[in-house]
């Protein structure tokens, strides 16, 4: 006979919602993929923050620290939104790896210019992913998630702007 603990592990994690089964599946799935990308971008930004060097070290180091904090701040809201609409979300680093669309950078050395350019491109890609999830939310009239995403788009656009202006040569 199964123990109560084993039975609880089988219990559904269904949060009540009026969005419907298709909305739950599509929105939670889109948010979970986006969350994987946020974690990938967070870690890459921290990686570059930790490994920054050169004459602009202090400015770049501090900027990337600010940007990584902003990216990390989205992760709990993303995961909780997936749960609020009745779905589930990430469970492990392996799950992140399977879902992330942004490439990792494990290079031993990356120039500061290449770091900033790569982060700019990743943030631009993230904006596209955010817009795709916004479209899914619009399809199911999930205005609460769409509203959060609009703020995250603005934040990502600001990061792109800062990264672009930092690397301009004229």
Over residues 61-72, mean pLDDT: 98
Measured CA distances, 159 to 32, 64, 148 (Å) = 22, 9, 17
Q: What is the DSSP letter of 108?
A: S
pLDDT category at 33 given cuts 50, 70, 90 is very high
Q: Is 160 within 8 Å of 127 (Cβ atoms)? A: yes
Q: What angle do CA 101, 120, 31 make, to 5 degrees?
A: 35
Residues 136-170 as b or e (16 or more Cβ within 10 Å = b): bbeebebeebbebbeebbebbeebbebbeebeeee
Q: Is 120 within 8 Å of 167 (Cβ atoms)? A: yes
Q: What is the pLDDT of residues 84-131, one digit of tens each?
A: 999 999 999 999 999 999 999 999 999 999 999 999 999 999 999 999
Q: How long, in residues, is the chain?
A: 170
Query: What span, in angstroms and rounded, lies between the C-alpha atoms of 42 and 75?
Result: 9
For domain 20-167, the CATH class is mainly alpha
pLDDT category at 11 given cuts 50, 70, 90 is very low
pLDDT value of position 22: 86
Q: What is the pLDDT of residues 133-163, one digit of tens each?
A: 999 999 999 999 999 999 999 999 999 999 9
Question: For the chain, what are the domain ranges?
Answer: 20-167
């Amino acid at each position: 006979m199964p123990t109560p603990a084993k039975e609880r592990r089988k219990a559904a994690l269904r949060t009540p919602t009026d969005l419907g089964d298709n909305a739950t599946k599509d929105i939670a799935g889109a948010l979970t993929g986006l969350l994987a990308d946020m974690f990938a971008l967070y870690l890459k930004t921290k990686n570059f923050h930790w490994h920054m060097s050169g004459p602009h070290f202090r400015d770049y180091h501090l900027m990337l620290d600010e940007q990584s904090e902003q990216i990390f701040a989205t992760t709990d809201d993303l995961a909780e939104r997936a749960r609020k609409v009745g779905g589930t979300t990430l469970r492990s680093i392996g799950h992140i790896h399977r879902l992330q669309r942004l490439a990792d950078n494990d290079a031993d050395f990356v120039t500061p210019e290449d770091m900033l350019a790569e982060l700019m491109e990743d943030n631009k890609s993230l904006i596209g992913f955010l817009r795709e999830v916004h479209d899914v939310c619009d399809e199911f009239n999930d205005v609460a998630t769409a509203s959060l995403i609009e703020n995250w788009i603005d934040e990502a656009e600001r990061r792109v702007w800062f990264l672009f202006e930092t690397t301009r040569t004229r």
